[in-house]
Structure 1
Amino acid sequence: MKLYGVTGWKNNGKTGLMERLVAAFCVRGLTVSTLKHAHHATDVDQPGTDSHRHRSAGASEVLLASPRRVAIMQELRGAPEPSLTELLARMRPVDLILIEGFKRELHPKIEAYRGAADTPLIAPGDPTIRAVASDCALELDRPVFDLDDTQVIADFIATELGL
């Protein structure tokens, strides 16, 4: 499986870029999965559902299956957060896994950057960031793409990964 990341600070366009890249690679006939890191307490389940009741009762893992999707919720219950390597090992094989977040990991990344967000660029100090997708002009030692030019960004990633 090939891996490529989209990183950047909050409100810089990471999720929108991820969404557009997934669609662009799927149109090209590739199978794509995503892995997103969240820094806050996230819960995809809702109080009152049967699966939430199972978790609240103490289940370590709840697998919810339906004709349209399968969701596995695993409670850490004080255990350390799994590493990126451990999380990737849980995923089914696909052509490409796009990773949102995980700034400090060593896989290749593109940084999403919006001038109005008023956050520092990560790229200058991070060689794993291979390019920047920005809504403003930047002078860097690596490629800078228009944040909304999804096809050019997808082409760059495809070339980098040999897809």
Structure 2
Amino acid sequence: MKVFGIAGYSGSGKTTLIERVLPQLAARGVRAAVIKHTHHDFDIDRPGKDSWRARAAGAAAVLLASDHRTAVLTEHRNTPPVLDDLLAALPPCDLVLVEGYKREAIPKLEVHRAETGKPWLFPEDRQILAVASDAEPPNGFPRIDIDAIPSLTDFILNHALSRPTA
């Protein structure tokens, strides 16, 4: 399994870039997964449903299964998940794109749009190897046009970090 991070401020286009890269990866025979970290609380379960009731009653985890997909709802109870644990929980795949977990020591691509008015992340993060942007970064830092999806896909594949599998 290889891992590669996509970093950037909210609204920069991280999810859109991942959405555009995934079909390119699939066309190249790469089985890809995505881990998306959010700072907001979320729940894909609905109050009153059996799975919600089990979690509310204290279950540490509930696995939902249908003929089409499965989802594991794990209660962390004020202990944020560690990226390595999340990677270990994924089914077999070739590449994991990690959106968020910006402090992790994994190779990253910064997504930056000039219109957001946000500062660049790369000067403070040595794990950022290049930027996908519609603007030129300062000091000649490596840039790939944000719309050059085949080039971005090549970059990700060439720089993803191999991780041992369990």
TM-score by length of 1: 0.92
Give the superposition deviation at 1:162.
Answer: 9.1
CA–CA distance in structure 2, aligned partners of residues 115 and 124 of structure 1? 16
Matched, 1:150 2:113: no
Q: Please tell me the residue identity of whatever aligns with 1:158.
A: L
Aligned to 1:82, the other structure's residue is in SS state coil
Counterpart residue number, 1:25? 25
Compute the TM-score of the two structures, normalised by the length of structure 2: 0.90
Structure 1 residue 159: Cα displacement: 2.2
Q: Which amino acid aligns with 2:154?
A: D
Counterpart CA distance in 1 for 2:156 and 2:10 is 22
Segments of structure 2 that go 5 or more residues without pairing to the other structure are none
What secondary structure, in the 3-state scheme, does the structure 2 residue paired with 1:152 have? Answer: helix
- AA at the equivalent of 1:54: A
Gaps of 5+ in 1: none
Amino acid at match of 2:27: V
Kept in 2: contact 1:109–1:128 (CA 8 A): yes
**Structure 1 segment 122-133 matched on structure 2, within 5 A:** 122-133=121-132
Code of the residue aligned with 1:151 in structure 2: it is P
Aligned to 1:98: 97
Partners of 1:39 and 1:162 in 2: CA distance: 25
Alpha-carbon separation, structure 2, partners of 1:101 and 1:23 = 21
Residues 81-129 of structure 1, C-alpha deviations (whole Å, 9 max, x = no match): 1211121111122110110011111000000001111111101121100
Q: Are 2:143 and 1:137 aligned?
A: no
Distance 1:65 1:93, change over 3 A: same
1:5-16 mapped onto 2 (5 Å cutoff): 5-16=5-16
Identity of aligned residues (%): 43
Cα distance change on mapping 1:57 and 1:4 into 2, 3 Å: same
Question: Is 1:43 matched up with 2:43?
Answer: yes
The aligned length equals 162
**What secondary structure, in the 3-state scheme, does the structure 2 residue paired with 1:25 have?**
helix
Give the secondary structure class of the aligned counterpart of 1:30: coil
Aligned counterparts of 1:69 and 1:111: Cα–Cα separation in 2: 31
Instruction: Give the partner amino acid of 1:11.
Output: G
